[in-house]
Structure 1
Amino acid sequence: MRKIDAADARLLEAVQSDAHLTADQLGEACGLSPTAALKRLKRLRADGIIEREAAMISPRALGYNIMALVMVTLDREDRGVIDRFKQDIRNTPQVTNGYYITGDADFILTVVARDMDEYDEFTRDFFYDRHPIKTFKTSVVMSVVKSGGPLPVHDLA
């Protein structure tokens, strides 16, 4: 892991809140010239510290009124089953987040749907028809308190 200095930390804090800052704004945020700030930003991307930059879109604004957290336990835990399940998570648009975890379940997924009928159809297809699922437990999100929050970087410098 590359060492993060104070200027890198300030730059990372700035781009986590707004990835479209101008070069002047980036320089001001990290106490460097705009050119130096852009060079650092390019290096942070090249080093894999900044994995990607994306817009945060409101699910409700697009009609996704249901957001569910789903704990999934596979019926078999051999490498092929796990790898196929991971690949299907990556390829399924309704699954917005997927984590392979330790503990009582094998995976936790975030799934969006327009309504409960659509979510029911998703579960029938994704869990019953495609994969050897032992159990899955759904918790419907009532409200999002914090999502996509920035990583704490100020203590890394």
Structure 2
Amino acid sequence: MRKIDAADARLLEAVQQDAHLTAEQLGAACGLSPTAALKRLKRLRADGIIEREAALVSPRALGYAIMAVVMVTLDREDRGVIDRFKQDIRNTPQITSGYYITGDADFILTIVARDMDEYDDFTREFFYDRHPTKTFKTCVVMSAVKTNGALPVHDLAQSAI
């Protein structure tokens, strides 16, 4: 893990809030010249600290009225079953996030659907027909409280500028 300094931390905080800031705005956010800020941003990308930049799209604006958090326990847990399940998670657009976890379940997924009938059809096909699923437990999201995915970086800074 590469150490970050205070300027890197301020830069990361800024781009986590808005990845389309101008060079001038980035420089002002981290206390550097625009050119220096852009060089640091390029280095943060090259070092893998910034994995990718993406837009947060409103599910409801696209007609996805249902968002569910689903805990999945597979019926068999051999390497092949787990690897196939992981790959299918990556290849299934309705699954917006997926985590292989420890504890009572094997995976936690976030799934979107236009309505409960569509969600029911999805679960039947994905969990019953395609995978050896022992159980899955669904929690329907009532409202999104925080979805930005921003990581705390301020306290990670190793030295001040």
SS at the partner of 2:137? strand
- Report the equivalent of 2:6: 6
- Report the equivalent of 2:52: 52
| Distance of 1:150 and 1:85 partners within structure 2 | 27
| Distance of 1:111 and 1:149 partners within structure 2 | 17
| Distance of 2:126 and 2:98 partners within structure 1 | 13
| Distance of 1:12 and 1:128 partners within structure 2 | 42
TM-score (norm 2): 0.97
* Equivalent residues in 2 for 1:32-111, closer than 5 Å: 32-111=32-111
Which digits, 9 at most, give the CA deviation of each residue in 1:54-92, with x for residues without a partner? 000000000000000000000000000000000000000
Q: Which consecutive unaligned segments of at least 5 residues does structure 1 have? A: none
- Report the equivalent of 1:26: 26
TM-score (norm 1): 0.99
SS at the partner of 2:146? coil
Which digits, 9 at most, give the CA deviation of each residue in 1:26-69, with x for residues without a partner? 00000001000000000000000000000000000000000000
What is the Cα deviation at residue 147 of structure 1? 1.0
1:132 aligns to 2:132 (yes or no)? yes
What is the Cα deviation at residue 152 of structure 1? 0.5
- Report the equivalent of 1:151: 151
| Distance of 2:7 and 2:148 partners within structure 1 | 23
How many pairs align? Answer: 157
- Report the equivalent of 1:119: 119
| Distance of 1:87 and 1:149 partners within structure 2 | 22
**Percent identity, aligned pairs only?**
89
The runs of at least 4 aligned residues of structure 1 exceeding 6 Å deviation read none
| Distance of 2:19 and 2:96 partners within structure 1 | 20
| Distance of 1:150 and 1:76 partners within structure 2 | 34
CA RMSD of aligned residues (A): 0.5
Give the number of the structure with larger relative contact order, counting CA–CA contacts within 8 Å between residues 6 or more apart: 2
| Distance of 2:28 and 2:60 partners within structure 1 | 35
